[in-house]
Amino acid sequence: MSADIRNILNIDRLIHEPARLIIMTMLNVVESADFLFLQRETGLTKGNLSAHLTKLEETGYVAIEKTYKGKIPLTVCRLTEEGRKAYRQYRTQWHDLMSRKQRRRSEP
């Protein structure tokens, strides 16, 4: 098995799924975000977003707080420290993998 294939297999597959990658990327740049903001920005349905957030919460990557803003339910999401660490590691692995591929393409 080539090193590239091993590196791909080592990438966090939970984060690598496109919808979860978008969620993690968005949460990485803010302190927290409410459910409706995430839904609007990702374009995911309520059910789909909820399912992905649940998977991320079960893994410990996302913390979800259900509260109220006045009488309106409010769900606030944020990356946990573990989630931020996993996201940074994912980005580093992906960047390294793509850099190696690019270098190989430019070699004579």
Which parts of the chain have pLDDT scores under 70? 1-9, 101, 103-108
Q: Which pLDDT does position 2 carry in this prediction?
A: 63
Work out the mean pLDDT of the chain and round it to a whole number: 91
Mutual angle of helices 81-106 and 18-28, in 10-degree steps: 110
72 sits in which H/E element? strand 72-79
Domain 3-96 has CATH 1.20.140.10: no
By the 8 A CB rule, do 61 and 24 touch? yes
| Domain boundaries of the chain, sorted by first residue | 3-96
pLDDT at 107: 66
Instruction: Name the token pair of 34.
Output: 């409410």
